[in-house]
Amino acid sequence: DAAERGDYRHFMLKEIFEQPRAVADTLEGRIAGAHVVPESFGYGAPEVFQRARSVVLVACGTSYHAALVARYWIESIAGLPCTVEVASEYRYRKHVVPTDALFVTLSQSGETADTLAALRLAKESGFAATLAICNVPESSLVRESDLVLLTHAGPEIGVASTKAFTTQLVALLLLTLALGRAQSLDEATEAAMVTILRTLPTKIEAVLELDARIAALAETFVDKQHTLFLGRGEQYPIAMEGALKLKEISYIHAEAYPAGELKHGPLALIDDQMPVVAVAPNNSLLEKLKSNLEEVRARGGQLYVFADRDVPMSEEDGVTVIRLPETDDLLDPIIFTIPMQLLAYHVAVLKGTDVDQPRNLAKSVTVE
């Protein structure tokens, strides 16, 4: 155990720091020149991608959050309608199967009972094809799906998923580009995005350098009972993932909201005892997010804003700004995940919880 952890105090920290390599390994062999190789998804994948008229993504836990990010990409880049649902809900409701729909499951283990049951249901209910994005090659999910893209994260031991999540996002970007090219995405746009994707391991290295800063920041969270995570657009699922990480391993109640919904309820909770974490890359929604954050400030809330280097936002009383290295918008959900993982990790360490084996949770939930 100690030998495998190397110099790291916990598997979770080791796995956070393995992400540049895990991401590079997941890209390896899936890109030729400036293009995604559609056959990476399996024999017959190019035809399946051409035929697809919509995509349904189903998963649980952290994998579900990856699916939620992908919905933004599949609709905006590949131009296909996309729905996302947690497997435990999907499997127990009557649903309409759209014509020529691709059914995609996401799972680190490939053995999650609800996800597997949803796949089996989908295979009986008339989907055009099934695809699994999974980290375990010999898993049931992989064996039972028509198409497969393996994430090459390597074994993940910490119950709280980290490198499996970011490699799922990489796999989903590859899927988005392969699907997009089979639809209406032009070659030059794909090439530009692939070029950006290739920079990801280096960008993750750079953001990991924030570790000490975030460890210091964690001290302000240790004695808190509740926290709120805010994001907009594809950063909303990243806020959800940040909240999930914190609650899983530090046992602090954490909730995520799309920032525009603040005024419809959570603003009532804001006081100086509830830290508010915001994920704020410099994208088209930044101005909207800033006015949402003003609403928090005006009510005495303590803001911790994770922002791009060039976001015009200043530190003032009650506002802490943590600057991230510059990246392209396409990579932001992956880049902004890293400080969320580090924050949860350091808060949990300070609280003295069992970081790799949090109470009541299992790495893989193979029963219902």
Q: How near is the Cβ of 333 to ligand G6P at its closest, in Å? A: 16
> Which two three-digit tokens encode residue 334?
């992956």
Position with the least CB separation from ligand G6P: 61
Residue matched to tokens 């400030």: 297
Q: Which of 26, 40, 62, 302 binds ligand G6P (CB under 6 A)?
A: 62
Asked if 357 touches ligand G6P (CB under 6 A), the answer is no
Q: How far is the C-alpha of 78 from the C-alpha of 229, rounded, in Å? A: 29
112 binds ligand G6P per the rule CB under 6 A: yes
| Alpha-carbon distances of 132 from 15, 115, 150, 176, rounded to whole Å | 22, 10, 8, 14
Between 108 and 327, whose beta carbon lies closer to ligand G6P?
Answer: 108
Q: Which stretch binds ligand G6P (CB under 6 A): 59-67, 96-104, 187-195, 285-293?
A: 59-67
Token pair listed for 243: 């909240």
Question: For residue 230, what is the enclosing H or E element?
Answer: strand 226-231
Which residues is 149 bridged to in the sheet? 133
CB of 84 to ligand G6P, least distance (A): 14
| Residue 161 makes contact with ligand G6P by CB under 6 A | yes
For residue 150, state whether it binds ligand G6P (rule: CB under 6 A): no
250 contacts ligand G6P (rule: CB under 6 A): no
Whether 243 contacts 229, CB under 8 Å: yes
Among 19, 88, 107, 292, which residue sits at the site for ligand G6P (rule: CB under 6 A)? 107
Using CB under 6 A as the criterion, what x/- string covers residues 2-31 for binding ligand G6P?
Answer: ------------------------------
Q: Decide: is 363 part of the binding site for ligand G6P (CB under 6 A).
A: yes
DSSP one-letter code for 149: E
DSSP codes of every residue in 73-118: HIIIII---EEEEEHHHHTTS-----TTEEEEEEESSS--HHHHHH
* The token pair that represents 26 in the structure block: 């997941």
Which position has the token pair 């580009």? 177
Residue 117 is a binding residue for ligand G6P (CB under 6 A): no
Per DSSP bridges, beta strands 226-231 and 129-134 are unpaired
263 catalytic per annotation: no
- Cβ neighbour number for residue 71 with a 10 Å cutoff: 18
Residue range at the interface with ligand G6P (CB under 6 A); choices 103-111, 219-227, 264-272, 295-303 = 103-111
Confirm or reject binding of residue 242 to ligand G6P (CB under 6 A). no
224, 247, 290, 363: which is the annotated catalytic residue?
363
Work out whether 235 is an interface residue with ligand G6P (CB under 6 A). Answer: no
Give the rounded distance of the alpha carbon of 92 from its chain centre.
25
Out of 29, 326, 361, 366, the only residue in the binding site for ligand G6P (CB under 6 A) is 361
- Give dist(CA 253, CA 289) in Å, integer: 23
Residues 295-334 that bind ligand G6P (CB under 6 A): none
Count of residues interacting with ligand G6P (CB under 6 A): 16
Contact set with ligand G6P (CB under 6 A): 60-63, 107-109, 112, 115, 159-161, 361, 363-365
Cite the active site residues. 363
